Amino acid sequence: MPVTAQAILAEIKPLGSDGYKRVLFNHGITEPCFGVKIEELKKIQKRIKMDYHLALDLFDTRNYDARYLAGLIADDAKMTKKDLQHWVKTACPTTARWTVATVAAGSPNGYELALEWIESDKDMVSAAGWGTLSGIVSTKPDEELDLAKLKQLLQRVERTIHKAPNDTRYAMNGFVISVGSYVKSLTKLAIQAGEKIGEVTVDMGNTCCKVPFAPEYIRKVEKRGTIGKKRKSAKC
């Protein structure tokens, strides 16, 4: 018998806690939210593996925990443009930047949509676009990437990041880090861009989170000897 979104909601609701919910709220998450820890959601992911239709149904519940799980079990290859556009338009900022972006990065439509989203005047949507680009460069072989376009995008970030809205600023900084860390031929250029950009200031809400300084982060990856080592998936 197929698992339903309502059955999943009933299963995860008791797993939530007020303490973790407060942590999520400090990171900008809003109701509805149960406050379920990621490790609990990953146990369900391990059981379900991938389920395209269930992921869509879970996302439509608008519950944050269900949406996070939706991203984990989504069959990225089956996600249509319509699906991804619906997700990015109805997401909260955090879900757009992480869940939507990581699923889009694994979709055949992700690159095209990312280039469209970064032109949006909505902070949440443009941040999702830059996040999707970061996911793509971290997972796709270099020979499948448009290196000339990536160079142009690095130059664009260098010129515009300090004028960009809050979430987009954070995602742009992440893009510089991703290009420098995962595309070996552009590492030097990404470090140079990061040096010209300097420190990036982002309102991280009521948290102790900090915005990484891109050149410093990339050099740490370089020191580990893992520049250019791709990830299996943008999801985490």
Query: Residue 143: is it exposed, middle or buried by C-beta count within 10 angstroms (0-12/13-18/19+)?
Result: exposed
Domain ranges of the chain: 110-236
- A 10 A CB-CB count for 53 gives 11
Question: Is-contact 12 69, C-beta < 8 A?
Answer: yes
Integer CA distances (angstroms), 218 to 54, 82, 93, 191, 213, in order: 37, 35, 26, 7, 9
Query: What pLDDT is attached to residue 76?
Result: 98
- For the cut 80, the answer to whether the pLDDT of residue 1 exceeds it is no
Token pair of 165, please? Answer: 């809205």
CA pair distance 198, 217, nearest whole angstrom: 13
Question: Is-contact 128 170, C-beta < 8 A?
Answer: no
Query: What pLDDT is attached to residue 2?
Result: 82
Mean residue pLDDT of the chain comes to 97
* Lowest-pLDDT choice from 102-106, 183-187, 200-204: 200-204
For 126-148, what is each residue's pLDDT tens digit? 999 999 999 999 999 999 999 99
What's the DSSP call for residue 155? H
Query: How remote is the C-alpha of 218 from its chain's centroid?
Result: 18
Q: Which pLDDT band, with edges at 50, 70 and 90, does 207 fall under?
A: confident
- Short-list 86, 76, 135, CA closest to 108: 76
For 62-120, what is each residue's pLDDT tens digit? 999 999 999 999 999 999 999 999 999 999 999 999 999 999 999 999 999 999 999 99
CA pair distance 192, 109, nearest whole angstrom: 30
**Percent above pLDDT 90 for the chain:** 95
Query: What pLDDT is attached to residue 206?
Result: 83
Question: What letter represents residue 136's amino acid?
Answer: I
Instruction: Give the torsion through C-alpha atoms of 180, 207, 198, 226, to 10 deg.
Output: -20
Contacts of residue 54, defined as CB under 8 A and 6 or more positions apart, other chains included, come to 2, 3, 4, 5, 8, 48, 70, 73
Crossing angle for the helix pair 166-182 and 214-224, to the nearest 10 degrees: 30
Query: What pLDDT is attached to residue 208?
Result: 84
Query: What pLDDT is attached to residue 28?
Result: 87
